[in-house]
Chains A and B, each alone.
Chain A
Amino acid sequence: MTLRKFAGLGALLSLVMPSLAMAADEVAAPVLNSGDTAWMLTATALVLFMTIPGLALFYGGMVRSKNILSVMMQCFAITGLISVLWVIYGYSIAFDTTGMEQGVVNFNSFFGGMGKAFLAGVTPASVTGPAALFPEAVFITFQMTFAIITPALIVGAFAERMKFSAMLIFMGVWFTLVYAPIAHMVWAGNGGLMWDWGVLDFAGGTVVHINAGIAGLVACLVLGKRKGFPTTPMAPHNLGYTLMGAAMLWVGWFGFNAGSAAAANGTAGMAMLVTQIATAAAALGWMLAEWLTHGKPSALGIASGVVAGLVAITPAAGTVGPMGALVIGLSAGVVCFFCATTLKRKMGYDDSLDAFGVHGIGGILGAILTGVFAAPSLGGFGTVTDIAAQVWIQCKGVGFTVIYTAIVTYIILKVLDAVMGLRVTEEEEAVGLDLAQHNERGYNL
């Protein structure tokens, strides 16, 4: 119906303005849908809003007051850097389909070609979208915001001790060798390694959260603990910021998950609903788990539960039903609570802001449970009939991503450490990164 309306408009235009109508005729075949376009424009802005200011505030509040600017600055700098790299070659590595063939594993199953480098051939008339047609420019920007938030999530693992220069180079290289290829393998379509395996990852549980969580774990292990961890008090300096940031992430996530339907349709609507359900359940799950084990429900706890739920429902958003979302959310709240508190203590690694405990663990849990609850027999809307088989496929996807990301991240960090050093000096760490790395302080009260 919409298509017909557009065709009618074209005919009308051809009567009034012949020259314009000719241009319209050239793109007559793929006519974009304004409703889908409007939603994808909105969703894109929502996802950017998750990183700045959402994640910047969420993380910024959790560090000590001497490091708030360093964390926020890292989020902003990553946003700038990744946007530029995305249009130069990132989009092409992730989404160029040259040489890809269903069922065939070749170089292009891992790494996209350079056909879209410098966004070659992208014009206002370029359209894309599996379910509906909207401008490729919007798709590029939408996916760019995912590419931005993924490295920004890693910041939480090495907060309060990494050199800004080393951080920036690490993020550029990591984006190139880890993010873009993993996105390609999962999302580029037929011929992509994990796409062909049948891995279900609706909005980026594997590509974004497992990826960032594992990279964070490796980064905090390679960099080592903050000076004084875990005996010196390192209490969050402004949990109000953290709660505001968590709230922005929650709202922005509707763009992330419902936007991943790449259309304004029923799938997007259901993705929005299950996102809310899982997040609410995880917030309660974390809060109750903490209440029972530590005696009091905490604000940082409920904010962390919110993020754990958002992470866990991400891969599942397009395929699970409301009751599946309830189970996924509740289990994410409880499991991530355990990992960010008890497991971290036991293992002794210093994942400053729990990038691994929340995003890594929540991502893995969500990816596996997607295989379970996508089944129509359990209220899902996927095509999964054999739950065990799908869970195995999901595990394969998780396993591959964990191993690939861990190895490549480790190599990048070790090389950078040898070349330029990753950590600030002990003195700079004590002074705080705001003064030591940026010559300013967050608070002049």
Chain B
Amino acid sequence: MKLVTAIIKPFKLDDVREALSEIGVQGITVTEVKGFGRQKGHTELYRGAEYVVDFLPKVKIDVAIDDKDLDRVIEAITKAANTGKIGDGKIFVVNLEQAIRIRTGETDTDAI
């Protein structure tokens, strides 16, 4: 199993959710996060006072999937979240050791 974590632009969340549903992903976890990458921050201007905002708002998506789905999930997220402009985000993949559905006690691939 893999845990796929994607950091995307907030306005792309709906597109990514739809793309994942289409390829049969059963559930995702979404967190509002802030951070910076190569895009850096942006500036705000109040009565001529310029403030650099270092951390930009992003959305983090966590998806737990079966190994065999990994390529399709990566492709779906990449396609849906891509704007071609700087700041589109990143995808991280890590091995997932265990998964348990709390209600039934099912484990691993049955639980995701």
Contact = CB atoms under 8 A, between A and B. Distances in A.
A159 B45 CA distance: 19
Contacts of B49: 230, 234, 341, 345
Contacts of A345: 48-49
B11 interface: no
Which of B44, B46, B48, B53 has the most CB atoms of chain A within a 10 A radius of its CB? B48
A30 to B, nearest CB: 49
Contacts of A296: 45
Interface string A270-312: 0000000000000000000000001010101100100000000
Contacts of A301: 47
Interface residues of B, number: 9
A382 B53 CA distance: 52
Contacts of B47: 300-301, 304, 340-341, 354
Interface in B35-63: 44-49, 51-53
A340 B44 CA distance: 16
Nearest to B44: A235
A301 B47 CA distance: 6
A294 B44 contact: no
B23 to A, nearest CB: 38
B46 A344 contact: no
Nearest to A286: B47
A340 to B, nearest CB: 5
Contacts of B48: 294, 340-342, 344-345
B45 A233 contact: no
Contacts of B52: 233
A308 to B, nearest CB: 11
A236 interface: yes
Contacts of A341: 47-49
Interface string B60-88: 00000000000000000000000000000
Nearest to A294: B45
Contacts of A235: 44, 46, 51
A236 B45 CA distance: 10
Interface in A17-37: none
Nearest to B49: A230
A300 B53 CA distance: 18
Interface string A324-364: 00000000000000001110110000000010000000000
- Closest 10 A-B residue pairs measured CB to CB? A341-B48, A233-B51, A340-B47, A341-B47, A235-B51, A294-B45, A235-B46, A300-B46, A236-B46, A235-B44
20 contacts: A230-B49, A233-B44, A233-B51, A233-B52, A233-B53, A234-B49, A234-B51, A235-B46, A294-B45, A298-B46, A300-B46, A300-B47, A301-B47, A304-B47, A340-B47, A340-B48, A341-B47, A341-B49, A344-B48, A354-B47
Given A233-B52, A340-B48, 7 more contacts: A235-B46, A235-B51, A298-B45, A300-B46, A304-B47, A341-B48, A354-B47
Interface of B: 44-49, 51-53
